[in-house]
Amino acid sequence: MLSQKARYALRAMIELARAESQVTAGALAERADAPRKFLEAILLSLARQGLVTSHRGKFGGYRLGRAAGDISFAEVIRLVDGPLALAPCVSRTAFRRCEDCRDIVTCALREALLRARDATAEVLEGYSLADAVAGAGAELLDAPQA
């Protein structure tokens, strides 16, 4: 499940992608509907990874560190929440054997979890901040919610 922290990060990143100039932390928190202090901590970690840049001072603020089309939802989620996989044994970025696993080769769960990871990664890696700004997912609004 996507954490609230990741939701705030994605909302803030989309707002930065929409902005024509840098945005103050206060304005960004308001636009992203996120607590300012919490969002500032998120932005700091995103800045460390180069996804945003910050400028201090009277005319300071935040802006994207790269083009919106070059930043995928998957990248933001991985930076905030960690691997996309539902279990560590199917993660491409943080693989490890599950604690209660008797045999990774014959595990009855692993094939389904691999497929879920692959499908999730395909969608999130293929969906950028630019797609979100352009409303590329508008057709999903009419789809039944899980």
For residue 108, what pLDDT is reported? 84
- What is the C-alpha separation between 66 and 70, in angstroms, rounded? 7
- What is the C-alpha separation between 122 and 118, in angstroms, rounded? 6
pLDDT: which is higher, 53 or 100: 53
For residue 146, what pLDDT is reported? 53
For residue 110, what pLDDT is reported? 86
Kindly state the DSSP code that residue 71 receives in the 8-state scheme. Answer: -
For residue 57, what pLDDT is reported? 78
Please write the tens of the pLDDT for every residue from 132-142: 999 855 555 55
Under 8 Å between Cβ of 39 and 5? no
pLDDT above 70 (res 144): no
For residue 126, what pLDDT is reported? 95
Under 8 Å between Cβ of 39 and 1? no
Q: Which domains does the chain possess?
A: 4-64 (1.10.10.10), 71-135 (no CATH)
Task: Summarize the confidence of residues 45-64 as an average pLDDT.
Answer: 90
Please write the tens of the pLDDT for every residue from 14-42: 999 999 889 999 999 999 999 999 999 99
For residue 138, what pLDDT is reported? 53
Please write the tens of the pLDDT for every residue from 55-99: 887 778 999 999 999 999 999 999 999 998 888 888 887 887 778
